[in-house]
């Protein structure tokens, strides 16, 4: 490699590091403050004890929008989350996503029902999940905000020659039934 080529590659890498080329871009929406942002995720806090989080994971070969959406529903279902809604979503730059709304009651002393809304995006490079959660009685107030926040989020990691960022929506998502309790153990309550 020539000196000029080496210099150009080094300059481009330095420019990328300086500009903070991350897998997503989202400014704190009105009513939220940014608590943390490291390029692999962000955490924002809003009023009414409602939290907004963006999480980024590397995608793998075969990791489609349908696959990751079903994966999330199944994992959360095993933890007691109940899927209450599913709709298509689109990021600011046109990446297809799936929005899923859940209800759950956290374990512990405070048995206050909560909402959890997540929008999953799958790109060639990443899985980006936009999440909004809080007490269930605030769901109506924040439900429209999920779509507003999603449409303001820029999701990166798409390659022009693949179809993964314009992937098909999953079919109707459902959680698998909980596994039966092993012999000699009682089934968990609520099953």
What's the token pair of residue 186? Answer: 């009682």
DSSP state of 113: -
**Amino acid 10: pLDDT:** 40
pTM of the model: 0.78
pLDDT band at 137, cuts 50/70/90? Answer: very high
Question: Which pLDDT band, with edges at 50, 70 and 90, does 135 fall under?
Answer: very high
pLDDT at residue 129 tops 50 = yes
Per DSSP, 138 falls in state G
The secondary structure element, H or E, covering residue 85 is strand 82-90
Domain boundaries, given as residue ranges, for the chain: 23-160
Residues in the chain: 191
Sign for the CA dihedral angle at 166, 151, 39, 121 comes to negative
CB 127 within 8 A of CB 57: yes
Q: What angle do CA 104, 108, 109 make, to 5 degrees?
A: 110
For residue 5, the model assigns a pLDDT of 43
pLDDT mean over 88-117: 91
Burial string for 84-103 (b: 16+ CB within 10 Å, else e) reads eebeebbbeeebbbbbbbbb
Predicted confidence (pLDDT) per residue in 29-77, tens digit: 677 788 887 867 888 898 888 998 999 899 999 999 999 999 999 999 9
Q: Which CATH architecture has domain 23-160?
A: 3-Layer(aba) Sandwich (3.40)
Mean pLDDT across the stretch 17-30? 58
């Amino acid at each position: 490699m020539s000196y000029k080529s080496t210099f150009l590659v080094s300059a481009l890498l330095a420019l990328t590091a300086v500009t903070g080329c991350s897998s997503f871009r989202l400014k704190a929406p009105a009513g939220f403050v940014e608590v943390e942002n490291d390029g692999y995720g962000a955490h924002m806090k809003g009023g009414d004890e409602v939290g907004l989080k963006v999480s980024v994971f590397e995608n793998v070969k075969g990791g489609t929008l349908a696959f990751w959406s079903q994966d999330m529903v199944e994992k959360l279902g095993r933890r007691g989350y109940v899927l209450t809604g599913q709709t298509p979503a689109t990021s600011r730059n046109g990446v297809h996503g799936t929005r899923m709304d859940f209800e759950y009651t956290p374990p512990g002393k405070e048995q206050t029902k909560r909402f959890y809304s997540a929008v999953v995006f799958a790109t060639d490079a990443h899985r980006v999940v936009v999440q909004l959660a809080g007490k269930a009685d605030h769901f109506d107030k924040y439900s429209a905000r999920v779509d507003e926040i999603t449409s303001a989020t820029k999701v990166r990691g798409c390659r022009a020659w693949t179809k993964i960022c314009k992937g098909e929506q999953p079919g109707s998502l459902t959680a698998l039934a909980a596994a039966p309790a092993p012999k000699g153990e009682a089934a968990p309550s609520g099953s």
